[in-house]
Amino acid sequence: MKLLVIEDSQRLLRSLGRGLKKTGYAVDLVADGADGLDYARFNDYDVIVLDLMLPGMDGLTILRKLRAMGKQTHILILSAKDQVEDRIRGLQLGADDYMIKPFSFEELCARLGTLVRRQYKAKNPEINLGAGVRVNTATKLVERNGSAVNLTPAEYALLECLALNRGKVISKEKLLQAIHDSDSYAGPNVVEVLICNLRKKIGGAGEDCVVRTRRGYGYVVD
């Protein structure tokens, strides 16, 4: 899952970037409003975390422009503005959620998880992939036959992306976008390595494997 965080505080960007990446998201971090709008326009994100008071362009203008150009990306406003009018204005302009600074990192993750699930119309955070494999998108835990499977953030992000798009073939490029930020130079072979590791950890091979390869197209979870 890929996030864009537009926030002018460098210190907050550092903390959020590290925390969200550790949680399993691919995160793009931008400190300027105008740059943030460009990132949002030319990339596909699952959720955009948007501050309101930004240099270059304020958050509400970014929001208005994105909605005007038809971008349906879920947007969570993260602002120090705590007045009800500010919240109402943000939500009326098309934001999907509003959080006031200071905030709990856990709560931010929970809200982001909700917006991601809403993106894929999956209300139940627990997804049963068959063969005894279950993915919980709220707790970011994977179980196989009742036992926890220890996945790296990148492996989990890959599995979650496939699980939320169950039945759809996802290309290597799309998977790469979901697990790495836009400035990453990683190539498609990284996806192959991660899929290989994932199959080893959640088990199954050949016809019994949860993650199947559609040769020439990508990967799919049936």
User: Measured from the CB of residue 4, what is the shortest distance to another protein in angstroms?
Assistant: 17
Contact 30, 6 (CB under 8 A): yes
**Residue for token digits 């994977």?**
142
**With CB under 8 A, what is the number of residues at the site for another protein?**
28
Question: Nearest-5° angle of CA 221, CA 127, CA 153?
Answer: 75
- Touching another protein, residues 158-197 (CB under 8 A): none
User: Which window, 94-102, 121-129, 140-148, 213-221, contacts another protein (CB under 8 A)?
Assistant: 94-102
Q: Other C-beta atoms within 10 Å of 198: how many?
A: 23
- Touching another protein, residues 116-135 (CB under 8 A): none
Query: Closest CB to another protein among 97 and 221?
Result: 97
Contact 45, 63 (CB under 8 A): no
Query: Closest CB to another protein among 163 and 179?
Result: 179
Chain-centroid distance, C-alpha 119: 10
Interface with another protein (CB under 8 A), residue from 106, 126, 173, 222: 106
Q: Other C-beta atoms within 10 Å of 195: how many?
A: 21
Q: Residue 19, interface with another protein (CB under 8 A)?
A: yes
Strand partners, 158: none
The three-class DSSP label of residue 215 is: coil
User: Measured from the CB of residue 9, what is the shortest distance to another protein in angstroms?
Assistant: 6
Q: Other C-beta atoms within 10 Å of 221: how many?
A: 23
Q: Residue 34, interface with another protein (CB under 8 A)?
A: no
Interface with another protein (CB under 8 A), residue from 41, 64, 101, 200: 101
Q: Which residues bind another protein (CB under 8 A)?
A: 8-12, 14-16, 18-19, 22, 31, 33, 53-56, 58, 80-82, 100-106
